[in-house]
Amino acid sequence: MKRNAIAFWGFALLFLAAILLSAQFVANEYWFFAGYVILQFIVLSVAWSILGGYAGYVNFGTSAFFGVGVYTAVFLVSAIGAPLALQIAVAAIVGAVMGFAVGLLTLRMQGIFFSIATIAVTIVVETTVTNWRSLGGAAGIQIQRPPVTAPFHSYVQMLVFVQALLVVLSVAISRYIQNSWIGRGLQALRDDELAAECTGVPTLRLKMTACVISGALMCAAGAPGAMYLQYADPASAFNLNYSVSVLAMALIGGTAHWIGPVIGAILLGVTQQLLTVTISSEVNVLVLGVMLVLFVVGAPEGIIGLFRKGRRSEGKA
Amino acid sequence: MRGCRRPILALSLAIRDLDAGYGAVKALRGVSLDVATGETVALLGTNGNGKSTLMKCIMGLVRPWRGSVSLTIDGATHDLARMSPEAIVDLGVALVPEGRRLFPRLTVSENLMLGAFRRAARRDIARNLALAFDAFPVLKERAGQLAGTMSGGQQQMLAIARAMMSSPRLLLIDEPSVGLSPLLVSQMITKIGELGERFDLTVLMAEQNFNQAVRIADRGYIIVHGEIVVAANVDELHGNDIVKRLYLGGSV
């Protein structure tokens, strides 16, 4: 356990150092644009998996949380010219509050009913923002990036590093939850909610905790998106594609372990970027659908499940 | 607090005039029932008569419509009808639910660990785990196996062992015989009796199998259509007309 923790934090530091160094040596800005999107998807799918994976509550509201993160940043920039760190911190708080509210409204529902309720949340939030004049309404809103500071050469490079920090933070939280009594309780209620209550697992409180943490991380992941695009409009910030992609990434990676959503997000995120560059962004959705079907049929436990099965059969042989 | 296993002098469960149900369906009508320290009480009745609903009311899983469920421990009375299941577990009550309700995709040892979810129980995990493995050696052999892949009898053992992981004083067991062969039913009932004696448990067991349940029970209640129709000592139960009609195939 101890050695695992050292390895984990060592790897996290290496990862951050590599991102920092790349800002010095990689000249082509495209890599940062693409890398940002992939890192953002890692945060989102790790966050999704805390409620959707550990607790088994399939959440279609990712785009609601993400979009609220984007718009929290937009609001702070246009209202008081808040710095990036403040935008992210406030977005995380807003996300936590929103997670609490959404959880209170929906977490008494189970299975498909919960999922449908989360779609409804997305639509409600999007409609609200669309009709919010001072945030640009349906037409969207432009924002200006402040000048960038050393050691970064461009603002996008800095955003990539910030998103990488969020990746480390979200993975560390997810890993902590998995190894703690919170994670055990969530696993128990995923398997059998009534049995979990019988053994004294405070199911509603744990689900609320998961929803709050998941919501805070999703909103935080969305916040730098405003500066990344220098523009926000409701149709793209609340695009249901985020919900579907993130869900697919987590499920394809496997939700039984924190590494699953990370693997899934890298795999699908890279594939999407390649397809966008080589064919078109529309093909993304098709490929996503095909991959999801293949995995649901062939490897319902995701990539993690395939590895575990492989290891188990090796052990027997 | 309970980690140090201060012996409890007195524990008694008193249910008074309990009504409960689901939506428009009333499952319990004016049920009154008592369980005193160290007793094993059988709640007898066939399917759909309200046994499980009563168990769930005691555990805080179903809110009664009317009446009271009170647990008195060393003079302090707790109103279970207003408490959450986790608070009731903290008081030393554990339920082995009907149909076992294990965590099928978790291993045997993960299931046992979850039985000790409450903070007070976590400190005693090592000791309780040893006791569980001692009582049910097959669980030790299969510690790494997924609970859902075990046989019915083994699953029932695991369900009981999981409940024991919270060091309960009052053990509620809902239909331990469901889906088991006659031989296994007999062994399971004997085991429950042994555990009760060994750990000074107070036991309330819901059961359909009259002959098996009364082997280890001190007293029995018979519940029909949500009402208690007979409350008697085990010896008296054998001679009771209603029992003869319901269970022993006699005609009255």
Q: Please report the ipTM that was assigned to this predicted complex.
A: 0.85
Q: What is the pLDDT of residue A313?
A: 62
CA gap A239, B46 in Å, rounded: 54
Q: What is the pLDDT of residue B106?
A: 92
**In the predicted structure, residue B1 carries a pLDDT above the cut 50:** no
Pick from B104, B118, B121: which is nearest to A191 by CB? B104
**Residues from chain A contacting residue B124 (CB–CB below 8 Å):** none
User: B40 near B196, Cβ under 8 Å?
Assistant: yes
Q: What is the pLDDT of residue A170?
A: 97
- Residue B229's Cβ-count burial label (10 Å; 0-12, 13-18, 19+) is middle
Q: What is the mean pLDDT of residues A91-110?
A: 92
The rounded mean pLDDT for chain A is: 90
**In the predicted structure, residue A209 carries a pLDDT above the cut 70:** yes
User: How would residue A146 be classed by pLDDT, with cut points 50, 70 and 90?
Assistant: confident
User: A263 near A307, Cβ under 8 Å?
Assistant: no
Residues of B in CB contact (< 8 Å) with A are: 59, 61, 84-86, 89-90, 94-95, 97, 101-106, 110, 113-115, 117-118, 121-122, 162-163, 165-166
Q: What's the pTM?
A: 0.89
Q: What is the pLDDT of residue A299?
A: 85
Longest Cα pair distance anywhere in chain A, in angstroms?
Answer: 66
**In the predicted structure, residue A136 carries a pLDDT above the cut 90:** no
Pick from B90, B97, B122: which is nearest to A195 by CB? B97
> Residue B4 has what DSSP assignment?
G
**In the predicted structure, residue B196 carries a pLDDT above the cut 60:** yes
User: How would residue B201 be classed by pLDDT, with cut points 50, 70 and 90?
Assistant: very high
User: How would residue B7 be classed by pLDDT, with cut points 50, 70 and 90?
Assistant: low
- Residue A238's Cβ-count burial label (10 Å; 0-12, 13-18, 19+) is buried
Q: How many helices (H) and strands (E) does chain A have?
A: 14, 2
* Cis omega (within 30 of 0) for bond into A151: yes
Longest Cα pair distance anywhere in chain B, in angstroms?
Answer: 55
Mutate to test the interface with A, among B86, B96, B160 (most CBs of A within 10 A): B86
- Among A8-12, A175-179, A304-308, B110-114, the range scoring the smallest mean pLDDT is A304-308
Q: What is the DSSP string of A261-292?
A: HHHHHHHHHHHHHHHHHHS-HHHHHHHHHHHH
Pick from A181, A195, A202: which is nearest to B102 by CB? A195
On whether any CB of chain B is under 8 Å from the CB of A181, the answer is yes
Q: What is the pLDDT of residue B252?
A: 44
Tokens of B133: 């493995």
**In the predicted structure, residue B236 carries a pLDDT above the cut 80:** yes
User: How would residue B97 be classed by pLDDT, with cut points 50, 70 and 90?
Assistant: very high
Q: What is the mean pLDDT of residues A231-240?
A: 91
Pick from A181, A191, A202: which is nearest to B103 by CB? A191
Q: What is the pLDDT of residue B179?
A: 87
C-alpha angle B104-B107-B113 in degrees, rounded to nearest 5: 105
On whether any CB of chain B is under 8 Å from the CB of A14, the answer is no
Look at A197 and B85 and tell me if their CB atoms are within 8 Å.
yes
How far is CA A288 from each of CA A45, A63, A236, B115, B228, rounded to the nearest angstrom?
14, 17, 18, 40, 59
Query: Nearest-CA distance from A200 to chain B in Å?
Result: 4
CB within 8 Å of A82: residues ≥ 6 apart: A76, A90
Residue B45 φ then ψ, to 5°: 170, 155
Select from A65, A71, A40, A114 the least CA-distant residue to A212: A65
Mutate to test the interface with B, among A182, A184, A199, A205 (most CBs of B within 10 A): A199
Look at A198 and B117 and tell me if their CB atoms are within 8 Å.
no
Query: Nearest-CA distance from B237 to chain A in Å?
Result: 31
Mutate to test the interface with A, among B53, B61, B103 (most CBs of A within 10 A): B103
User: How would residue A133 be classed by pLDDT, with cut points 50, 70 and 90?
Assistant: confident
Q: What is the pLDDT of residue B134?
A: 93
The string of pLDDT tens digits covering residues A58-99 is 999 999 999 999 999 999 998 898 899 999 999 999 999 999
Q: What is the pLDDT of residue A316?
A: 46
C-alpha angle B171-B173-B174 in degrees, rounded to nearest 5: 150
Partnered with residue B20 across adjacent β-strands are B28
On whether any CB of chain B is under 8 Å from the CB of A116, the answer is no
For chain B, give the percent of residues with pLDDT over 70: 94
Pick from A181, A191, A198: which is nearest to B59 by CB? A198
Q: What is the mean pLDDT of residues B167-193?
A: 93
Nearest chain A alpha carbon to B166: A199
The string of pLDDT tens digits covering residues B115-156 is 999 988 899 999 999 999 999 999 999 999 999 999 999 999
Q: What is the mean pLDDT of residues A304-313?
A: 76
**In the predicted structure, residue B171 carries a pLDDT above the cut 80:** yes
Amino acid at B211: N
Select from A48, A44, A67 the least CA-distant residue to A57: A48
**Residues from chain B contacting residue A199 (CB–CB below 8 Å):** 89, 94, 114-115, 117, 162-163, 165-166
Q: What is the mean pLDDT of residues A4-31?
A: 90
Q: What is the pLDDT of residue B114?
A: 94
Q: What is the pLDDT of residue A225?
A: 92
Q: What is the pLDDT of residue A102?
A: 92
**In the predicted structure, residue B250 carries a pLDDT above the cut 90:** no
Alpha helices in A180-300 (DSSP H): 181-191, 193-198, 203-229, 234-237, 240-253, 259-278, 281-298
For chain B, give the percent of residues with pLDDT over 90: 80
User: B64 near B20, Cβ under 8 Å?
Assistant: yes
For residue A59, the SS3 value is coil
On whether any CB of chain B is under 8 Å from the CB of A268, the answer is no
The string of pLDDT tens digits covering residues B32-79 is 999 999 999 999 998 889 999 999 999 999 999 999 999 999 889 999
C-alpha angle B192-B196-B197 in degrees, rounded to nearest 5: 120
Tokens of B15: 């249910």
Q: What is the pLDDT of residue B248?
A: 64
